[in-house]
Amino acid sequence: MIVILLFAALLQADVEANRAAAEKFFKAFNARDFVTMEALYAPDAVLTSSDFCAPRGRADLRRTYETLFDGHPDVVDIVDVMVAEQDYVAVRFHAVADSGRNPMRLPLMAMLRFRDGLIVEDDTIFDTGGKPCDR
């Protein structure tokens, strides 16, 4: 019984660590802290998004977000709901920007999968409004 309780406690600790890492990512995004953002992704991480033509990797992270920040200098992500279970953290959030080419209030959903405390999969979906994918 003690072994089962210890195992359950370890699993819960991983879940909470994953949730904390996801929260850290959103704080880093809002602060434009690329160093922290990149450090939260495993070297072999795969990023997919509704506006990507093909999956991207950790090496594409800075370029991807710099493009977003160039178009929307004041964009912030506002987390509505975050749920953590096992290796996954699901996040419903809004990207909000009042300046730039097109002010926006965009609802998004992200499913993050963690391994050893790092994001290994980041699958984000949203309505692209019919815009073609971005290479």
Residue 43: inside a domain, yes or no? Answer: yes
Read off the pLDDT of residues 33-82 as tens digits, 9 standing for 90 and up: 999 999 999 999 999 999 898 999 999 999 999 988 988 899 999 999 99
Number of domains in the chain: 1
Calpha distance 35→56 (Å, rounded): 18
Residue 92 belongs to a domain = yes
Please check whether residue 132 lies inside any domain of the structure.
no
Indicate whether 22 belongs to any domain: yes
Q: What is the pLDDT of residues 71-122, one digit of tens each?
A: 889 999 999 999 999 999 999 999 999 986 678 899 999 999 999 999 999 9
Q: Residue 135 falls within a domain, yes or no?
A: no
Measured distance CA(50)–CA(128) in Å, rounded: 7
Say if 45 falls within a structural domain: yes
Q: Is residue 131 part of a domain?
A: no
Does residue 86 fall inside a structural domain?
Answer: yes
- Residue 4 pLDDT class (50, 70, 90 cuts): low
Look up the CATH number of the domain holding residue 12.
Answer: 3.10.450.50
CA 11 to each of CA 16, 42, 88, 94: distance values in angstroms, whole numbers, following the listed order: 9, 20, 12, 29
Range of the structural domain that residue 56 is part of:
2-125
5 vs 79: CA distance, rounded Å: 32
Element (H, E) at 68: helix 61-71
